[in-house]
Amino acid sequence: MTKCRPEVEQVAREFQRYLAKSLKIQAELDLDSFRDYSVSLDIESMNIRITLWYSPKRKTSKITFVQSQDPAKEEKIRMAWYGFHHGDHLENGEVHAFVDGSSIDGKVGYGLVILRKGVVLEEINGVVDRPDYCQHHQVGGELVAAVKFFQWCLKNKISRCTIHYDYEGIQKWATGAWKANKELTQKYGEYVQKLPLEITWNKVKSHSGNLWNERADRLAKDAVKGESWKILNKKSSLKSKRN
């Protein structure tokens, strides 16, 4: 008898429904592929085959790619898998952003991924050219990413948002939990406290496999390397979905 087949099939069916409902992507469960703790799904429209693995000890699951020819499509499925697992805090209708900074050879970059209900609205990155930020290296980049997100919210008439960050100063300088000893952090705290935004703060562990945090980190590194992104999901109508 195949070990953990009911548990494996339940997760696979739920992910299958999630893809269909959230992204209009049809995935077929390969009933002949059931093995101990695993099963495969085919996404013919994207020429992708994945295997879903279930851990009875941890009661968690993961996917691996058996067949995939397009990195962009593979990343889309990875993001969908993350959204499927973490929809508890991304499905609440608020706008979320994952922010990060990077410092390589004295050059500082920032990156942020903006989402609503697990769907990417925009990805933004750039190089930090202000000396007062650059002297703080990677932290300076993450501060810029946070400010860029808050500016984006104001521009799009968003009143409530959630920001996910891996350096705790992003929140603690803003809320006054940490004393701001530098002019930059003082100005940052003053700026955030005057914002007409209801901000929820969420610290994530860096380099721990969090997809969106890793994506923000990659965007920041790409900026330092000269690869600029500003991707807008034009299907999203922010003006019709104001918070």
| Digit-coded pLDDT (tens) for 76-97 | 898 888 777 665 456 556 899 9
* Calpha distance 197→174 (Å, rounded): 12
* Calpha distance 33→35 (Å, rounded): 6
* Calpha distance 43→63 (Å, rounded): 13
Percent of the chain with pLDDT over 70: 88
- Sorted by where each starts, the structural domains of the chain and their CATH numbers stand as 5-88 (3.30.310), 95-240 (3.30.420.10)
From the list 142, 199, 145, 141, the residue with the least C-alpha distance to 167 is 142
- How many Cβ atoms are within 10 Å of 145's Cβ, its own excluded? 30
So what's the pLDDT on residue 231? Answer: 42
Which one-letter amino acid corresponds to residue 203?
Answer: K
So what's the pLDDT on residue 240? Answer: 29
* Calpha distance 243→239 (Å, rounded): 10
From the list 11, 118, 2, the residue with the least C-alpha distance to 58 is 11
* SS3 label, residue 181: coil
* Calpha distance 40→12 (Å, rounded): 8
So what's the pLDDT on residue 206? Answer: 76
So what's the pLDDT on residue 209? Answer: 63
| Interval 39-63: pLDDT, tens | 999 999 999 999 999 988 877 789 9
Which residues fall within 8 angstroms of residue 23, CB to CB, at 6 or more apart?
Answer: 76, 80
